[in-house]
């Protein structure tokens, strides 16, 4: 049985040296990571093209550029984040001072997925480094060229007992999960997320789970249909729909459904051409099993447009399905591909009720000009995060924590949230020795009366 105890022992020993806790060490590590990425930018672009047929534009925008910006943002703010925070003390603590110190957990395990194989391995690593942890990164075996490039960047930038990459399949992940880590960060599916959490429970290891679910996209009757169609087509069909926060289905008001569908078809043609299967820069499906699963969904409802497939290239063109019900197979699980089912609603309470009956999604998107509709949706529906009059863009802001709720995940990251995710907040109360408060002791006459005066 494969074991990585030797690796965790080495990293634990290095962490105990205290080097990773130095702010200067962390800043230098982030700079080295950034330099390593920049030096292999072309190699990463080529690897993403080979693994998923990602265009250079999409590879840089959704993978490389967003990671470089995250590092820059972290370097700019890390000194402020790492400072001990002073907090107020109550009157019962007169003379004392309270502070909260951010300290690293120790050894972090980062399990990354295949859909954004570079970004979703590197982004949590930035937080782990910034907080002062050692880390083991396990990239996806389904994108081998990208995984090897990640390993090369890490291998040439860091010593193995600080940051390292372990490559392999399911057996490798299982072996890593048998080891005791101090924090586990997982991005992937809900079923695997449950396995990760179960494994972490054996060591009482805290986890962040970035999962998924069926993220709704609501198009209300007063929406700017042309703009909504373009932004939905972009958010849904980018990366061939293999995005955890992609709109999973559209819920459109029945009065604008037909007009919206026409705009959506025009937007798809504008972005991907008349024949997307012949577009050399349209991302492919990651593997045969995923392709076959998606192709089976084409039997749901009525084909509005799209539906073409190329089994040899593992490509499915942007596809919209109508006459869909909640019972159709395409509505029973996260699609994670370029298929977009469309449902319709007649009134807002109906839409809120139906969406609220589903598991809490990772994202929710709402297109409307009505402030009251925006507020009602935000107050009555629970979701990880989202956009009003846009899709996906919220995850690119380092000022907005990104994460799920309920079955779509737990914990958040990006920007300061990444630093906080990989840090333990250690509370310390420094008490004065210049005087003592006698009423706290049991032998003080009238002590209880004094305590009751304060504690009520």
Q: Among candidates 162, 209, 163, which has minimal Cα distance to 184?
A: 209
**Separation of alpha carbons 226 and 260, rounded Å:** 7
Residues contacting 258, CB < 8 A, separation 6+? none
The β-bridge relationship of strands 207-210 and 409-410 is antiparallel
The distance in angstroms from the start CA to the end CA of the chain is 59
The DSSP secondary-structure symbol of 192 reads H
Q: Please report the DSSP string for 61-93 in residue order.
A: IIIIHHHHHHHHHHHHHHHHHHSPEEE---GGG
- Token reading at 433: 């020795």
375 is a catalytic site residue: no
Residues 6+ apart with CB under 8 A from 35: 157
Which residues, listed in sequence order, are joined to residue 137 by a DSSP beta bridge? 110, 165
Query: Catalytic pick from 58, 179, 210, 221?
Result: 210
Q: Are 339 and 319 in contact (CB under 8 A)?
A: yes
Q: Please confirm, yes or no, whether 244 is among the known catalytic residues.
A: yes
Site of tokens 């309270």: 98
Q: Which of 217, 244, 317, 420 is catalytic?
A: 244
Closest of 188, 29, 199 to residue 115, by C-alpha: 188
Which of 221, 225, 255, 250 has its CA nearest to residue 235? Answer: 250
Distance CA 415, CA 407 (A): 23
CA torsion through residues 43, 47, 53, 57, sign: negative
Q: What dihedral angle (degrees, nearest 10) is formed by the CA atoms of 293, 287, 363, 214? A: 10
Tell me the catalytic residues: 210, 244
């Amino acid at each position: 049985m494969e074991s990585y105890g030797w690796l965790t022992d080495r990293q634990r020993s290095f962490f105990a040296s205290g080097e990773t806790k130095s702010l200067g060490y962390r800043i230098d590590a982030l700079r080295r990571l950034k330099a390593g990425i920049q030096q292999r930018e072309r190699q990463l672009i080529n690897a993403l093209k080979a693994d998923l047929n990602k265009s250079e534009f999409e590879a840089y925008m959704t993978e490389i550029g967003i990671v470089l910006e995250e590092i820059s943002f972290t370097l700019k703010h890390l000194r402020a984040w790492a400072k001990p925070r002073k907090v107020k003390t109550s009157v019962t603590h007169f003379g004392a001072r309270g502070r909260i110190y951010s300290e690293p957990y120790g050894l972090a395990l980062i399990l990354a997925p295949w859909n954004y194989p570079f970004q979703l391995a590197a982004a949590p690593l930035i937080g782990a480094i910034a907080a002062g942890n050692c880390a083991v990164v396990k990239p996806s075996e389904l994108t081998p060229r990208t995984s090897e490039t990640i390993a090369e960047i890490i291998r040439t930038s860091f010593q193995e007992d600080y940051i390292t990459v372990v490559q392999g399949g399911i057996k490798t992940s299982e072996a890593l999960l048998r080891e005791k880590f101090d924090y586990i960060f997982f991005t992937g599916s809900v079923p695997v997320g449950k396995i990760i959490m179960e494994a972490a429970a054996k060591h009482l290891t805290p986890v962040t789970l970035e999962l998924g679910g069926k993220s709704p996209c609501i198009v209300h009757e007063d929406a700017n249909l042309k703009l909504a169609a373009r932004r939905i087509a972009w958010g849904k069909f980018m990366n061939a729909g293999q995005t955890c926060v992609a709109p999973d289905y559209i819920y459109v008001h029945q009065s604008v459904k037909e007009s919206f569908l026409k705009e959506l078809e025009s937007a798809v043609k504008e972005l991907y051409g008349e024949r997307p299967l012949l577009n050399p820069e349209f991302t492919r499906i990651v593997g045969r099993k995923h392709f076959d699963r998606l192709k089976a969904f084409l039997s749901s409802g009525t084909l509005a447009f799209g539906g073409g497939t190329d089994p040899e290239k593992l490509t499915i063109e942007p596809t919209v399905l109508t006459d869909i019900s909640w019972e159709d197979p395409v509505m029973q699980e996260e699609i994670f591909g370029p298929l977009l089912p469309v449902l319709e609603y007649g009134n807002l309470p109906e839409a809120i009720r139906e969406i609220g009956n589903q598991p809490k999604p990772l994202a929710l998107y709402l297109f409307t000009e009505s402030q009251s509709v925006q507020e009602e949706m935000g107050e009555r529906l629970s979701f990880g995060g989202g956009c009003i009059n846009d899709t996906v863009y919220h995850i690119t802001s380092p000022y907005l924590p990104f994460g799920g709720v309920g079955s779509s995940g737990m914990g958040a990251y990006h920007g300061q949230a990444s630093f906080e995710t990989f840090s333990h907040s250690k509370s310390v109360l420094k008490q004065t020795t210049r005087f003592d408060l006698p009423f706290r002791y049991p032998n003080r006459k009238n002590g209880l009366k004094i305590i009751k005066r304060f504690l009520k």
